[in-house]
Structure 1
Amino acid sequence: MKFNASSAQLSKDLSIAANAISPKAIMPILEDFLFKLEGNNLTISATNLETSIVINTEVTGHEDGSVALSAKILLDTLRTLPDQPITIETLDDKGLQITSAYGKYKMGIDDPDDFPDIESTPEEEGTSIEGLVLKSAIEKTMIAIGEVGVVRSSMSGVLFQLDFNKANFVSTDSHRLVKYTYNGLNFDSTKSFILPQKGLSLLKNAIVEDKEVHIFWNENSAFFEFEGFKIISTLINDDFPNYNNVIPVDNQNILNINRKDLMNSLKRLLIYANKSFNLVTFNLAEDSLTLATEDPEFAHDATEQLPCKYSGEPLTMGFSAKFFVELLGILNGEEVNIEFSNPKTPVLIKPVNQDSNQDLLLLIMPLIMQ
């Protein structure tokens, strides 16, 4: 195998592919990239057996072939080179040589036949979604994914619900919930699956925002294809909680407030809050919001009043300010509406202005105050 390539472009592609390699690989071959050269097309593969990526990139090919090689050694070399043409070729003594303007670097290689087979895309018809929309959905929902081993397995990923002309992306860790709906899907059926965090992270880092992402699936895996990339992830084999049961539908107490003002106020109060619970109290009255926190152990306390519009009954509720700040941080607009019912039921957070084909709903559970 022999080809010429741009060191910067190859480094960029390999940096994305490296996200599929586990830092604690269970087999030495899983620390490798698999290169396969056919003509001017170089196929780069990487896997941790749960998530895999295949990248097709254009190079100047001289001799077809395939090789498995250390991902870390190759990437560490390319990252220190300024952009320049490089040559990569296998040698007769079973090694591989990289030639740059600065010198030559030789490394050992592994048998490409030892590299695990990567699952082929199913032939059944799938669906497509804009890359920017999918990336936004992943970024917003990943914040509420539950920790593996702490929550039930279904809550350690994001639910993809494909339903004719819309797609729902939902995550929850039992303390908060994010539901992102896209109303521009073109699909003639319904399908749902749960994608784990590893697959979500790999997909988010690879997505080309201005390209369509084609989605396919089978019983055990989901496949995402776009602009020279294919990402495969195993699915979580569990039933996602019936999240609609916990979303209130008739909250009568509505707070309208500047998102950044509330977020910055909560950040300041977090400095003075008890670090075990990050509890901040919301005291709501007509067009009035008072935030308060304390940590008696260190004689800390803080109070702030914020301008707002509030209509409804006077309420006093407690929340994890840390969780509240994280939820506000995934919104983009200036103002939010926060809907309350009573001190023991979930609270809804919605941006005032949303795109016509997208809908974002956030939910946070209150803390029980003594």
Structure 2
Amino acid sequence: MRVTLERSNLLKSLNHVHRVVERRNTIPILSNVLLKADGASLEMKATDLDLEITEATAAMVEQAGSTTVPAHLLYEIVRKLSDGSEVALTTNPDGNSMTVTAGRSKFSLQCLPEADFPDLTAGAFTHTFRIASNDLKMLIDRTQFAISTEETRYYLNGIFMHAIEGDGGLKLRAVATDGHRLARADIEAPSGCEGMPGIIVPRKTVGEMQKLLDDPDVVVTVEVSEAKIRLTIGSVVLTSKLIDGTFPDYQRVIPSGNDKELTVDCETFAKAVDRVSTISSERGRAVKLALDAGQLTLTVNNPDSGSATEELAVGYDADPLEIGFNAKYLLDITNQLSGSEAVFMLADPGSPTLVRDSAGDDALYVLMPMRV
């Protein structure tokens, strides 16, 4: 194999694929990236056996061929080469090593045969639809912070995506919860979603999708089966296994009878919560909200370091109420709101609270209270 290409093109593609590769691997071939030169392009592929990313980039192919080299090592080498340089990748005749040449720099990397590289066979996809990059990114951004990190409840370690019939027709919905908070976001369902199975997209895949969906003008092709998802984003193809489990009936935890409405300026509220929580203990992070007509008092008490209070003018005219929340969870939710105001629907100190965005109802959040 002998191929020459622009350093910036090689770096961009390597940046997309090398992130999938785990730093520590018991299987040596999984530390490598597969390079395949053919026609006028160089294709790169990396996998961790659950997630696979492939990208092709334009290149001058003098001799077609393929090999695998350490992914992180190649990425670091290319990253440190001079900007604008031409990079030549050449495998030696016996295929045991590959030379990376750019200007006066020359590196030799150990290779492993392409035949050892695993292929994440996709199988047949039952549903295909096309979706604007910014719509898919919105679904992910609004919900991913609520994904559980508790490995025992593995079915919560991802975003649940499904098509659901709503008031305005069919919606594509994303839901995530960790048992303490729940995030739900909707968009109008693209054509092709009809009858799609409910899927749980794993946390690592969600993180990669977020990074790849950086161009708002791109249209993403999504293919779904009961076991896998494949996204084509420009020249990048991401294939991932799905979490094999049943997502809980999240509708049951969304309260419907909360009648005490609190309207608060989002930015002012977030800054106030951040200030008073400075004094809270790392473990508890509890902040108390005391509500009275037109006024909210935020209080944090920490036996080890002291206390803090702050008062805010708010829209509230129901009975006085005291309720406690985890400050980090409050901040996570307010960071997702695009409108200027947050609307809290409360019931009592022991019941879940509903949070909506004043900008619209395409997303809602449920937050469990804390004892304070």
* CA displacement, residues 86-143 of structure 1 (integer Å, 9 cap, x when unaligned): 1111122432111212322221211000000132363544112111111222122111
The corresponding residue for 2:71 is: 71
- Give, as a single letter, the amino acid of the residue that structure 2 aligns with 1:54: T
The answer to whether residue 240 in structure 2 is matched with residue 239 in structure 1 is no
Greater Cα offset, 120-129 or 55-64: 120-129
Give how far 1:184 is off.
4.3
* Aligned alpha-carbon RMSD (Å): 1.6
The corresponding residue for 2:160 is: 159
The corresponding residue for 1:341 is: 347
Give how far 1:218 is off.
2.3
1:122 and 1:322 map into 2 onto residues whose CA distance is: 42
- Give, as a single letter, the amino acid of the residue that structure 2 aligns with 1:39: G
- Give, as a single letter, the amino acid of the residue that structure 1 aligns with 2:74: L
- Could you list the runs of 4 or more consecutive aligned residues of structure 1 that deviate by over 6 angstroms after TM superposition? none
TM-score between both structures, scaled by the size of structure 1: 0.94
Greater Cα offset, 252-261 or 133-142: 133-142
The answer to whether residue 112 in structure 2 is matched with residue 110 in structure 1 is yes
Give how far 1:331 is off.
1.8
2:133 and 2:331 map into 1 onto residues whose CA distance is: 27
2:123 and 2:2 map into 1 onto residues whose CA distance is: 28
| 2:53 counterpart SS class | strand
2:304 and 2:122 map into 1 onto residues whose CA distance is: 58
Give how far 1:64 is off.
1.0
| 2:161 counterpart SS class | strand
- 1:165-244 residue pairs with structure 2 within 5 A? 165-187=170-192, 188-207=194-213, 208-244=215-251
* CA displacement, residues 277-317 of structure 1 (integer Å, 9 cap, x when unaligned): 1111101111111111111223x101100121113221100
The corresponding residue for 1:286 is: 293
- Give, as a single letter, the amino acid of the residue that structure 2 aligns with 1:47: T
Could you tell me the percent identity over the aligned residues?
A: 25
The corresponding residue for 2:330 is: 324
- Indicate conservation of the 8 Å contact 1:97/1:107, yes or no: yes
- Indicate conservation of the 8 Å contact 1:121/1:216, yes or no: no
Give how far 1:368 is off.
2.3
Q: 1:88 to 1:272 in 2, by over 3 A?
A: same
1:48 and 1:57 map into 2 onto residues whose CA distance is: 22
Q: Which consecutive unaligned segments of at least 5 residues does structure 2 have?
A: none
1:137 and 1:52 map into 2 onto residues whose CA distance is: 22
The corresponding residue for 1:368 is: 371
1:45 and 1:143 map into 2 onto residues whose CA distance is: 28
Number of equivalent positions = 364
- Indicate conservation of the 8 Å contact 2:343/2:356, yes or no: yes
1:155 and 1:118 map into 2 onto residues whose CA distance is: 24
- Give, as a single letter, the amino acid of the residue that structure 1 aligns with 2:158: G
- Indicate conservation of the 8 Å contact 1:163/1:191, yes or no: no
Q: Which consecutive unaligned segments of at least 5 residues does structure 1 have?
A: none
TM-score between both structures, scaled by the size of structure 2: 0.94
- Indicate conservation of the 8 Å contact 2:13/2:56, yes or no: no
1:12 and 1:278 map into 2 onto residues whose CA distance is: 40
* CA displacement, residues 210-261 of structure 1 (integer Å, 9 cap, x when unaligned): 2121111223211111211111111111111111111112321111111111
- Indicate conservation of the 8 Å contact 1:25/1:48, yes or no: no
1:237 and 1:204 map into 2 onto residues whose CA distance is: 22
| 1:54 counterpart SS class | strand
2:355 and 2:257 map into 1 onto residues whose CA distance is: 13
| 1:327 counterpart SS class | helix
The answer to whether residue 354 in structure 2 is matched with residue 351 in structure 1 is no
